[in-house]
Amino acid sequence: MTLRENHRERTKRQILDVALALFQEKGFRPTTMRDIADRAGIALGTTYNYFPTKEHLALYFFEAALERVLARHRREAPAEASLEEKVFLLIALELEEVEPYREFLNVIVTQAMVPTSPLHPYSLENQRLKNRHLEYVAELVREAIDRGELPALGYESMMLSAFWVFHLGMVMFWLNDESPHKEDTWVLLDKSLRFILGALRQESGAERNDAREADAV
C-alpha cells in the first residue's frame, strides 16, 4: 500500500470512528454528514469524497468489521474442527463484533430494506461485502470436501447463495432475540447447521446408493 493509500485509509477510519460515536450519541438518522465532518475536523466536501452518504459509511463499517472477523476466524478456528463448527464460529464472531452497535444496526436494517439504498443486500455497492464473505465460506466448503467431510455435490455456487440468505436470516433473528444471553440464537444456529449439512451428506449417500443399484441392474 502506497503512502497515499495509507493516508486515505487512515482518513476513512477516522471518519468512521467519529461517525460511530455520533450514531451512538445522537442516533443514525439525526446525525448529519456535517456533524461528522465537524467532529472529525475534516472539510465537509472531503468527507463527501470519501463517503457520499451515511449509508456508504455504514457499508464501510461492515466491510472493516468483516475483515477483523475473518482474521480472528483464521486464528481461532481449529484445523480439525468440522464444517458445522467452523461456520458456527464464523457467525458467532460476526455477531460478537457488531454487538456494541446493536441499536445502530436496528436502524441500518430498516434502511437496508429500501431498494435504492447502498445497504440493500442485493445492491451493487453491497456486492463487494457479500462476495468477500462468500469467498471465505467457499474456502471452508472446499476444505471440507478435500477432507472427505462433505461430498462434492456439483452445485456449491447455489449452496453459497442459499447460505447468504441463511446468514442474513440469522442476523435478523439475533437482532430480535430477547432470550437470556441470546440463547435462542445459538440453539437455532447450531440445529440449523447440523440439519442442513446433515441433509446434504444424506442426499449424497442416497445418490451413491442409487448409482450402485443402477449399476447392479
Neighbours of 107 (CB within 10 A): 14
pTM listed for this prediction: 0.86
All 3 cell numbers of residue 90? Answer: 464464523
Whole-number Å distance between alpha carbons of 211 and 67 = 43
The CA distance from 92 to 89, in Å, is 5
Task: Evaluate if residue 213 carries a pLDDT over 70.
Answer: no
pLDDT digits over 70-114, tens only?
Answer: 999 999 999 999 999 999 999 999 999 999 888 888 888 888 888
Residue 204 exposed, middle or buried by CB count within 10 Å (0-12, 13-18, 19+):
middle
Cα 187 to Cα 21, 146, 147, 151, 192, distances in angstroms:
32, 28, 27, 26, 8
φ, ψ dihedrals at 156, nearest 5°: -60, -35
**Sequence-ordered list of residues with C-beta below 8 angstroms from that of 190, at least 6 positions apart, any chain:** 84, 88
pLDDT tens for each residue of 44-76 = 999 999 999 999 999 999 999 999 999 999 999
8 Å CB contact between 72 and 63: no
Q: What is the pLDDT of residues 134-193, one digit of tens each?
A: 999 999 999 999 999 988 878 888 889 999 999 999 999 999 999 999 999 999 999 999
Q: Report how far residue 169's alpha carbon sits from residue 69's, in angstroms, rounded to the nearest whole number.
A: 19
Please say whether the beta carbons of 129 and 62 come within 8 A: yes
Torsions phi, psi of 167, nearest 5?
A: -60, -45
